[in-house]
Chains A and B, each alone.
Chain A
């Protein structure tokens, strides 16, 4: 499943970041978002807005477009 399929408040483990475009991929790695990390979805904003999630104690916002390219397992 994809990150966009997670319900707010629920957790999942990242399984695939390779479909992301290069810039977004590198920035997420910089922030410590790796495959195998557990994330918790905090919110998704209306009208196709960004996704806010928590990973190892920090909060990160990304676009729905990118969230739809992150493979997870819940």
Chain B
């Protein structure tokens, strides 16, 4: 029989690293707790079955949407055993969750991670003693290097958890009596009823909703009322959940004092020293901007562009020649030859030459995510984000949106308040994703040779500023609710190159896949439309269907600087995918003029027109792959259509202002 193992743990405990070690799959790793937002399943290396990765949580009672995943998963009750990864240096906090898992009654294996960090803090942990006290296997591991993961695998073997004792913590007379009463009321439930009763007493919203759907809860509610009334007499501030938490805490402290030896803690480590600078109250934000600038500089000047040029000369030179000769030799008809050479190779090749920049940018984003810097950014940006009616955590989806808007929108799940979450979803599509970067790279390379990194940075800053303004505007129309911001700064990690490369590949392969699937299809379609016209096939390109359609749109975008049908054609395919603009231009400008795309573009746009075009493209609509994600996360078709509509209007307005102010200032 195959088993299903579920992986639980607090955020930032190395859960995803352990997942990768146990499954050997290329899953994504991040320090920010919004990264693990989807249910991920991997096949265990030891072929026993599957491993489900659950979002990092502190307790089973959820505060945000991604945290509710774990409780819902337990209620479905389909898994065989749980692996609980625990940060050895924070046992007091981590064991709160462990207790809730033990109470569920399924076999549990505890992976004791970061023993080295604990040791540095002066804690010596006797894991065998812990194991004896909790009656479950406790295995010291180093998730990042994979040490100890073998032992976890062998603890999963059938039979090795047979003698696990039922875990029962006494919560005191009053609570125990309430648990018994609830136990009777929940008699039709198949899972552990004591666990269910405790979670109900803790007012776990997922459990409450689940039970409400299944039975009449009046009696159960009165049981809870009686208990909380009783506790209020003792102390007016005491709630049932606090009582339970205190009982657990006392128990955990007992275990810790038996199994952990604490010595005087050693001097501050490099993580503390780094934080003195990175979270410096004045230097923090400038430092973040400098880091962003350096990333762009390296992405373009040092690595991206030289490699891009090599690829470009290969695609337009040898590859085109060889393919042309091969097709001629095969006797393929001229029409097909044109599709392949001028459509596919010119178009898709035009997108693929930006693979180096995309990989380098994703490499840095993965690095930042893995290092723990994201949480610092959330902290230093909170004050500014507050001006926009959001909190610092909303900045993370925006930064991830720089890579691709889709994971950015999904990362918004870790924001606790529904209102702030919704606003973040609405503004994340404005972020300059890596697909837009292909267009910016192309244009900046042609029109702003000496200021490339600066011009691209200006677009990124623009997207953030506009997003902030829009967030402020949206929050005026929404019900005000209490905002909360509590952020944990995890210790920094020494970058693990394997982890970062995996993360880079996970994100960037979508780009390559997109280029070879529907950008390919879109390009061929554009090419056909430019090849055929009312007068038949192989017409002059300005007599083609494409030109006719786009000429109708051109006058609309005329006032913002680029009223040619060629530019308009790019905007149509840009909705399919922003990088399709590049392949479309490769097709339409290839047909009109002679020479390279660069030459054709530099005569078709002035620098100011080019900048206005980039601004419009930056803002004008989420791409077609992003739209369904907005719908899913915002949960409404109306809001999805609204997102497309408002961004269109916004793009037009901002480009108009940029273009005309630019003209007044004497730019061309």
Contacts and interface: CB of A to CB of B under 8 A. Distances in A.
B206 to A, nearest CB: 15
B292 interface: no
Contacts of A18: 237
Nearest to A64: B383
Contacts of B382: 45, 49-50, 61, 63
A28 interface: yes
B484 A27 contact: yes
Interface in A2-38: 18, 21, 23-24, 26-32, 34
Contacts of A42: 275, 279
Given A34-B249, A62-B485, A50 B93 contact: no
Interface stretch (B45-53, B328-336, B440-448, B486-494): B486-494
Interface string A39-74: 000111111111010001111111100100000000
Contacts of A46: 281-282, 383
Nearest to A47: B383
A50 B275 contact: no
A30 B484 contact: no
B484 A45 contact: no
A61 B484 contact: no
A62 B485 CA distance: 6
Contacts of B58: 27, 30-31
A27 B486 contact: yes
Interface residues of B, number: 39
Interface in B259-301: 265, 275, 279-282, 284
B281 A49 contact: yes
B559 to A, nearest CB: 39
B527 to A, nearest CB: 53
B490 to A, nearest CB: 8
B281 A44 contact: yes
B204 to A, nearest CB: 11
B63 A57 contact: no
B482 interface: yes
B245 A29 contact: yes
B93 A30 contact: yes
B81 to A, nearest CB: 25
Contacts of B275: 42, 59
Given A31-B58, A32-B90, A58-B488, A45 B380 contact: yes
B420 to A, nearest CB: 12
A35 B280 CA distance: 28
B485 A63 contact: yes
Contact of A49 (B93, B383, B482): B383
Interface string B475-499: 0000000111111110000000000
A60 B245 contact: no
A52 B379 contact: yes
B220 to A, nearest CB: 22
A59 B488 contact: yes
* A interface bracket (residues with beta carbon within 8 Å of B): 20 to 34
B371 interface: no
B68 interface: no
B88 to A, nearest CB: 11
B89 A21 contact: no
B93 A31 contact: yes
A46 B58 CA distance: 30
Interface in B58-95: 58-59, 61, 63, 89-90, 92-93
B545 to A, nearest CB: 57
Contacts of B249: 34
Nearest to A59: B489
Contacts of A66: 484-486
B121 interface: yes
B229 to A, nearest CB: 18
B392 interface: yes
A34 to B, nearest CB: 7
A66 B473 CA distance: 25
A56 B522 CA distance: 56
B116 interface: no
Contacts of B63: 23, 26-27
A56 B92 contact: yes
A50 B121 CA distance: 26
A13 to B, nearest CB: 16
Contacts of A44: 281
Interface in B379-415: 379-380, 382-383, 386, 391-392
A45 B386 CA distance: 13
Contacts of A57: 89-90, 121, 265
Contacts of A30: 58-59, 93, 96
Nearest to B281: A45
B171 to A, nearest CB: 17
Nearest to B265: A57
A23 B484 contact: yes
B485 A60 contact: no
B89 A50 contact: no
A61 B90 contact: no
B416 interface: yes
A23 B485 CA distance: 9
Interface of A: 18, 21, 23-24, 26-32, 34, 42-50, 52, 56-63, 66
20 contacts: A21-B484, A23-B416, A27-B58, A29-B245, A30-B58, A31-B93, A32-B93, A42-B279, A44-B281, A45-B380, A46-B383, A49-B281, A49-B383, A52-B489, A56-B93, A59-B488, A61-B378, A62-B486, A62-B487, A66-B485
Interface of B: 58-59, 61, 63, 89-90, 92-93, 96, 121, 237, 242, 245, 249, 265, 275, 279-282, 284, 378-380, 382-383, 386, 391-392, 416-417, 482-489
Given A61-B379, A66-B485, 12 more contacts: A21-B484, A24-B484, A30-B58, A32-B93, A45-B380, A45-B382, A47-B383, A50-B382, A50-B392, A61-B485, A61-B486, A63-B485
